[in-house]
Structure 1
Amino acid sequence: MLAQLNELTDRLRDIGDGPNTQPAFLVGAELARIAASMSWDSGLHLAAQRYYSLAVQFAKVGGDATFAASTLAAFARHCFDLGQPGDGLELVQLAQYGARRAASPRLRSLLATREAWAYAQTGSVQPFRRAARLAEDHFAEDDPNGVDQNAHGLDVAELYGVLGARWRDLSVTSAQPQQARHAQDYIGRALVLRDPSFVRNRAFDLIGLARAHLVTAEPDRSCELIESALPIAATWSSGRVGEKLRDFYRESQRFGTSPKVRSTRDAVRDVISA
């Protein structure tokens, strides 16, 4: 796939105006975005950033503002994963401005979740609440039976899962552990609504909910959730799921005197070290 992208990129440098010009750039944008996601999953973060930038450039030349916006949203998420909320927020705001006329309610909802993500990482409680509320409001405006290729991954379960994880982040960065109760509520709803075939997403939900229970000092419940996640999480232990398990392992250390916690941490260590 990378070879195809490189070949297409070389060809696009010399392409002239014509009926196939914009479609060719949009194909390049799609390939670049896939390459970015693959690089991210492999831990190749600089490569991921280059491919995201390339995808946005191609989408703009191809005249698809909404694809550019959704790619910027993915790029922002990568920044958040690296602990760069300022950079991520700039990308989100660029996406919101660029797609202000063309974005569907669901895409606006997706962008609002990314904005909330930035505020959660900086402990900005009121801006976070505003952005999270907007994410739900925009989603409610959308046709539940409609299809938006630029926000196709955002169903109601994903919305609740993402917002729940952000409430957990906010509870830590704002030093307000009680905010994690919101996280438990939202992620709990996501687990109920999640399509059973979305196994990887379910693993994220379970790990996120477990980490929220650590914040509220409920290590036994946290360990129960992690143990239910491990059989499915092990498949993706080398990627982002593994990173979340490492977060749990680090955060659970303060409860390490508990036999239950020690046992669960040993099980997690076996998975992330495999």
Structure 2
Amino acid sequence: MSVVRDEQGWTFQDVVDIVAKATRRSADRRKAWRWEHWGVEPDAESQAALAAELGIPMKEVHRLGWPGWLPDGGPVRTGFPWTREGTLQALDDTLEHAMLDRRGFMKLGGEALTVLAGQWLTEDPEPVTAALAGGRIDAQFVADLEDGLPRLRRLEARLGGPRARHLLGAELDTVAGILKEASYTDRIGRRLLRLGAELARLAGWSSFDAGLHAAAQRYWTSGLRAAHAADDRALGANIIKSLSLQCYDHGLFADARALAAAAVDGVGEVTARTLAMLLLRQARAAAACGDHAECDRLLSAAETQMDRTGAGDDDPAWTGYFDAAEFHAQTATCHADLGRPRLAQRHFATALDLMPAAKSRDLATYTVQSARTHTALGDADHAVHLLETAIPMITAAPSQRNAARAAAARAELPLTAKDPKVQHLDQLLGTLAA
């Protein structure tokens, strides 16, 4: 729904006004916010009013259901060749459709994703030498483009996905145009492809954070091809790791596990920090599958790698977020999924103590997760306090995933709706809609 609003220029109030005009109901904008952020499905009359406004036949509304009937960018295509030309085709397809994706669910199923990961593991990258029309690109020009990546990473982390995805998409469009139109050496071509892959990864992450999962899949699958063409195994593994997390969020735990394993198997020689990051993704998938022994083994292996990290390591720049605070937060999530709330809470407390205030989105994520462990431990009052603390963070760095987490944590509270603490919390949650 969010991308429909974006393209139409609608606010939440505009959406409910359309429904109210057709149904003669109240126009409370919080309804539209709940449809978009809490997964609440509009009733039949509301959907009929929106479909009429968008020109969607009712037979499609009945056939596809909510939110499947909302206009989107078509299927996610994965059949492009694992070549330079195939990479450019994939990027073109992504740039044409990703901003039009309006569906808040994944389009690629587990088999399609695991086949894609298997191809990434086995295909050999071809040489990249372009001699197309346009100017000759030199190393300094590419270095200038690469210098913008740290700023883009900071903006995405601090502003949140909904605000950053358009900027990232425009940057990726620029790099894709250079790849198609300029001429350059094989070495420069690989650097451009690596830059395109990282921009696609970031654009995918911002779409994922905004709840636009099909758009995220478009960016990540094309970015995976770009990383492969650049012969950057570590970057490809990081993109596979993102796809694994998306499956995890959708309850596709076996698929998440298979993808996380593919990332570790195909990453090659990497720094200790990079390997620890990938092992923790495997551990999370194992925990979600209820495999206590395998999760504990992977947690131990990840901890060993973290202990080996040093200031002189040549870590990829995209591992910068993965510090001690993130390590403890990810470890806590594993223990929470395995039904170990007390152990999870200790790691969450450490993570929150170590995490810098500038990381509003991450602080919100793990504050909400910590609240859920307090609920599991029987301390509902402190859980309410933590949720109240998280709401301004979500406001500062908007995130559909964090809004949904907060709603889920609220639903778990063993307190009645008449409890004054809960009423105050609900009022604060309502401010997110405004």
Q: Same fold (TM over 0.5)?
A: yes
1:255 paired residue number: 415
Structure 2: how far apart are the matches of 1:191 and 1:34? 24
CA drift at 1:205: 2.0
Contact 1:161/1:190, CA 8 A, preserved across alignment: yes
Q: Establish whether residue 153 from structure 1 lines up as the match of residue 313 from structure 2.
A: no
CA drift at 1:166: 2.3
1:93 paired residue number: 261
Which of the pair is proportionally richer in helix? 1
CA drift at 1:238: 4.5
Structure 1: how far apart are the matches of 2:348 and 2:415? 23
5+ long unaligned stretches in structure 1:
172-178
Q: CA RMSD in A?
A: 2.4
Structure 2: how far apart are the matches of 1:203 and 1:221? 15
Contact 2:194/2:230, CA 8 A, preserved across alignment: yes
2:17 paired residue number: none
Structure 2: how far apart are the matches of 1:43 and 1:229? 19
Structure 2: how far apart are the matches of 1:195 and 1:92? 28
Q: Establish whether residue 239 from structure 1 lines up as the match of residue 367 from structure 2.
A: no
CA drift at 1:94: 1.2
Aligned partner of 2:193 among 25, 34, 38: 25
Change (3 A) 1:216 1:80: same
Q: Larger radius of gyration, structure 1 or 2?
A: 2
Which amino acid is 2:379 matched to? E
Which amino acid is 2:416 matched to? G
CA drift at 1:273: 3.2
Change (3 A) 1:147 1:265: farther
Contact 1:207/1:226, CA 8 A, preserved across alignment: yes
Aligned residue runs from structure 1 range 161-240, under 5 A: 161-171=329-339, 179-240=340-401
CA drift at 1:150: 3.9
Contact 1:220/1:260, CA 8 A, preserved across alignment: no
Aligned partner of 2:222 among 32, 49, 54: 54
Structure 2: how far apart are the matches of 1:13 and 1:143? 39
Structure 2: how far apart are the matches of 1:33 and 1:8? 14
Contact 2:360/2:396, CA 8 A, preserved across alignment: no
Structure 1: how far apart are the matches of 2:348 and 2:431? 23
How many residue pairs were aligned?
265
2:304 paired residue number: 137
Structure 2: how far apart are the matches of 1:65 and 1:221? 44
Aligned partner of residue 195 in structure 1, secondary structure: coil
Structure 1: how far apart are the matches of 2:273 and 2:423? 42
Structure 1: how far apart are the matches of 2:420 and 2:279? 38
5+ long unaligned stretches in structure 2:
1-167
Contact 2:260/2:285, CA 8 A, preserved across alignment: no
Contact 2:367/2:386, CA 8 A, preserved across alignment: yes
Aligned partner of residue 20 in structure 1, secondary structure: helix
1:117 paired residue number: 284
CA drift at 1:199: 2.4
TM-score, scaled to structure 1: 0.87
Structure 1: how far apart are the matches of 2:312 and 2:245? 26
Change (3 A) 1:265 1:208: same
Q: % of aligned pairs identical? A: 25
Contact 2:253/2:285, CA 8 A, preserved across alignment: yes
CA drift at 1:108: 0.9
